[in-house]
Structure 1
Amino acid sequence: MTPTLIFDMDGVLVDNTPAQARAFQLLFRDLGLTTNARKLLQRLNGMPATNILKTVFQKPVPEKQLQEYSSQREFLYRTLYWSQRRAMPGLVPFLEAARAAGFAIGLGTSSPPETIAYILDHLDLRRHFDVVVGKDDVARGKPHGDTFSVVAAKLKAAPETCIVFEDAVLGEQAAYKAGMRCVAVASSLPAKAFQAPLTVINDFTELAPQRLLELLAEQPTAPKPDKQRAQRNYMQLT
């Protein structure tokens, strides 16, 4: 069985979480909010930005307003991260080795198309992926499993053959909800933050694609999602 590899984008292909947090913090400052963006993302990273923003207001905010705030945050993020864009160490050799070994490779992210292009096309990474699925391709974003399930369906891959690469707790939960196993990328969280990954890596210099076959044998089935963990992290938002 040759595994299918599904990658999250932010915090996995690129180490951009500090810039994301800084953009949120600047937005909060403009809105007069005192929320700590870094701590917020430790809990909610992986969700669409509008869903993250819902949690920082005491009263409901119209969806149109949330979209405007999200666009403002996106502009701040792109400005901050513009000259810092670079692939995670070891990523390209890992993807090339996985392709040579016959692995199917997909991308599943909560980002919209323009944000995906901002990373994939600038860094010439799109060529490594057979399928790219973003926010606009699914009805429900992470922590629901839809993003990864859609990638698998497009690749005609059974969930039990899929390995998801995630840097966020809610992304890991989304993988388990989709019936898949997960490799955790500890770019912004410690290893102990994750539930039951196949392994935890800091970057892709620490893993060879063939090692994944051994890890799958060690964990024959996907873990059950930890409902308490997910609810604690995303405050029961849907």
Structure 2
Amino acid sequence: MNIQAVLFDMDGVLIDSEPAWQKAELEVFNQLGLNLTQTDVEQTIGLRIDLVVDYWYKRRPWPKYDNAQTTQAIAEKVVAFILKEGQALPGILDAISLCKSFGLKVGLATSSPHYIIDAVLNRLALNNAFDAIESAEHLALGKPHPEVYLNCAKALAVAAEHCLAIEDSFNGLVAARAASMQTIAIPEAKFANDAKWVIAHHQLTDATEFGQVLNQYQLD
């Protein structure tokens, strides 16, 4: 398989922000009286945050529903965490550098809104690292729909089948597979033994193992 571009998810791949999302969701939703548990919020990992809010409203409706307001409240808590404590996940900065050393195009395809993208890239000093950045923020459908990945491939001028996507969530993995891309799953350790990751072409413990996968492909 010929690979010309590597596309990175952001939350849970570049930066360990998934716990911050889950904590923020628990705080905001439970202030609204939903009484969610950690297991509950783990069900929606990888979904765009407005879709998460809609998901829970359909299942446990609350009065004075305002999706935008609830979404904003959650996102503000996540941004505060990123700017104060956000750290690059193991091996990810080296993985990006390795892609560039091989002359591969590098893209970012995320469900997060642009103000969170900006916070992450500023915190990790990656403002100039990506050849294309695509968000599902304003798309009709976020992940697991493949559009954000297809848009990123188009922005890079690389056919989707010549892209390798790196994901930590099952919803994101489904999106990348639906886009006909090669895939790497790097799930959170406590989910790593779940049988569902079998749909990924490769599963890694963390991005320090990325070079071993890249060596298996023909690179242009």
Q: TM-score, normalised by structure 1?
A: 0.82
Deviation at 1:160, TM superposition (A): 1.1
- Aligned pairs for 1:83-162 (under 5 A) are 83-136=84-137, 138-162=139-163
Partner Cα separation in structure 2 for residue 61 and residue 31 of structure 1: 7
- Aligned pairs for 1:1-238 (under 5 A) are 1-36=2-37, 38-57=38-57, 58=59, 65-136=66-137, 138-187=139-188, 189-192=191-194, 193-208=196-211, 211-214=213-216, 216=217
The SS at the match of 2:164 is: strand
Counterpart amino acid of residue 214 in structure 2: L
1:167–1:187 CA contact under 8 A, matched in 2: yes
The 3 A distance-change label for structure 1 pair 105 and 81 is closer
CA offsets 1:73-126 (integer angstroms, 9 cap, x no match): 112223344422111111111111110111111000011110100101221113
Deviation at 1:163, TM superposition (A): 0.9
1:166–1:185 CA contact under 8 A, matched in 2: yes
Runs of 5+ unmatched residues, structure 2: none
Q: TM-score, normalised by structure 2?
A: 0.88
CA offsets 1:130-173 (integer angstroms, 9 cap, x no match): 00001345332111000000000111111111111001111010
Relative CO higher for 1 or 2, CA cutoff 8 Å, sep ≥ 6?
A: 2
Q: CA RMSD in A?
A: 2.2
Counterpart amino acid of residue 190 in structure 1: A
Q: Which moved more, 1:111-120 or 1:131-140?
A: 131-140
The 3 A distance-change label for structure 1 pair 190 and 174 is same
Counterpart amino acid of residue 116 in structure 2: T
The 3 A distance-change label for structure 1 pair 6 and 79 is same
Identity of aligned residues (%): 27
Report runs of 4+ in structure 1 exceeding 4 Å deviation. Answer: 59-64
Counterpart amino acid of residue 211 in structure 1: V
Deviation at 1:64, TM superposition (A): 7.6
Partner Cα separation in structure 1 for residue 125 and residue 82 of structure 2: 17
Deviation at 1:60, TM superposition (A): 6.3
The SS at the match of 1:149 is: helix
Q: Which moved more, 1:127-136 or 1:100-109?
A: 127-136
The 3 A distance-change label for structure 1 pair 4 and 63 is farther
Deviation at 1:196, TM superposition (A): 1.9
2:82–2:120 CA contact under 8 A, matched in 1: no
The SS at the match of 1:143 is: coil
Counterpart amino acid of residue 56 in structure 1: W
Partner Cα separation in structure 2 for residue 87 and residue 199 of structure 1: 21
Counterpart amino acid of residue 196 in structure 1: I
2:48–2:137 CA contact under 8 A, matched in 1: no
Count of matched residue pairs: 214
Partner Cα separation in structure 1 for residue 185 and residue 52 of structure 2: 21
Counterpart amino acid of residue 208 in structure 2: T
